[in-house]
């Protein structure tokens, strides 16, 4: 059994952020102020444990590039600081989602009762279908 990772902390030095102009509605303010944030996080070069890196890279997420760099864009809020906080929170949530390894599935056999119920259902269905045929005297 692999050890559970208790609340993995992301090193802020490994996160690269740049301010960009936000898209969408906002009037003149949106054209003047760079309030949106582009967050880039290089997964292979990070200090995360190897198994967590592996699970992060295995995610079928369009925000992860071929080189393994996670790119998040935060533009929900009006201020750059709130967008920065939002981007970091989303990154932390993504890392937390893969922090614990998935439980291994143990193969089980169907119970005797479930087999009987399945066969009973099949025979009932067979009976219904056989009654749909041509009527013979």
Instruction: Tell me the C-alpha distance between 93 and 90, whole Å.
Output: 5
Percent of the chain with pLDDT over 90: 44
Average pLDDT over residues 87-104: 91
- How high is the pLDDT of residue 2? 45
Exposed e or buried b per residue across 20-53, where buried means at least 16 C-beta atoms within 10 angstroms of its C-beta: eebeeeeeeebeeeebbbbbebebeebebeeebb
At residue 6, the pLDDT reads 56
Q: Tens digits of per-residue pLDDT, 32-74?
A: 778 889 999 999 988 899 999 999 999 888 889 999 899 999 9
Instruction: Categorize the per-residue pLDDT at 13 as very low, low, confident or very high, splitting at 50, 70 and 90.
Output: confident
Q: Quick count: other Cβ atoms within 10 Å of Cβ 19? A: 14
What is the pTM for the complete model shown? Answer: 0.69
Q: Which domains does the chain have, with CATH numbers?
A: 12-99 (3.30.160.20)
Query: Are 15 and 88 contacting, i.e. CB atoms less than 8 angstroms apart?
Result: yes
């Amino acid at each position: 059994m692999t050890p559970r990772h208790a609340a993995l902390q992301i090193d802020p030095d490994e996160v690269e952020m740049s301010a960009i102009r936000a898209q969408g509605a906002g009037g003149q303010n949106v054209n003047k102020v760079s309030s949106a944030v582009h967050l880039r996080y290089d997964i292979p070069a990070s200090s995360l444990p190897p198994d967590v890196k592996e699970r992060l890279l295995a995610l079928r997420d369009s925000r992860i590039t071929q080189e393994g760099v996670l790119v998040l864009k935060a533009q929900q809020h009006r201020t750059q600081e709130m967008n920065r906080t939002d981007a970091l929170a989303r990154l932390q949530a993504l890392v937390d989602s893969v922090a614990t390894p998935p439980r291994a599935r143990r193969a089980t056999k169907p119970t005797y009762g479930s087999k009987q119920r399945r066969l009973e259902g099949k025979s009932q269905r067979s009976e219904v279908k056989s009654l749909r045929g041509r009527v013979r005297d």
